Amino acid sequence: MIPIRNKKTLQVTVEEMRKFAFSYVEKYAPSKQQLKTYLLKKYLKLSLKNINKKEITNLIDIVLEDLEKNKFINDKFYSDSKARSMIQRGNSINKIRNYLIAKGINNELIKETVEDIASKNSDQDFFSAIKICKKKRIGPARIEDNRSLFYKKDISLLARNGFDFETSKKVMDIKKEDYLKIIRLL
């Protein structure tokens, strides 16, 4: 009786891994670290008996280098595009920084992205806080009679969204007319 071999060659594994990576990149546009985590989970779940974790990690690194060389994944582009979309939604610079750190982006790229945001608009957090006020109907977006009642609640909501106390206080102290002028500009 001839024994059945269930061994995969490394070349087959790399090609299979590349296919998984392409399908994931096509669907989600991830950072390099996100893709690495995905592939590692995928192959640890398969639990191939003849390949250990170190070999899988080395294969994943080879596939990631290939994808990066062919410009399928680019952490600089990822951090810039995520920062741009988060600013549009009204997120603070601190929240953007923490999000990028959580996604495994290099600290130098995060620093460049934050400096780029600051160079385009020196008071970006102020305008983002105004957007949050409009979206959540807090602070200057409230009716004048209710503003003093909800002052602490509104300040804490801005703090949870990553805005510092000075920025939150500055936004909360805006008069209704000034707020409406700023909203028209945004």
Q: What digits encode the pLDDT tens for the residues 53-104?
A: 788 888 899 999 999 999 999 999 999 999 999 999 999 999 999 999 999 9
For the chain, give every domain's residue range: 10-69, 79-120, 124-185
What is the CA angle 101-107-108, rounded to 5? 145
37 and 102 in contact (C-beta within 8 Å)? no
Residue type, 152: K
Residue type, 75: D
- Per-residue pLDDT tens over the stretch 131-172: 999 999 999 999 888 888 999 999 999 999 999 999 999 999
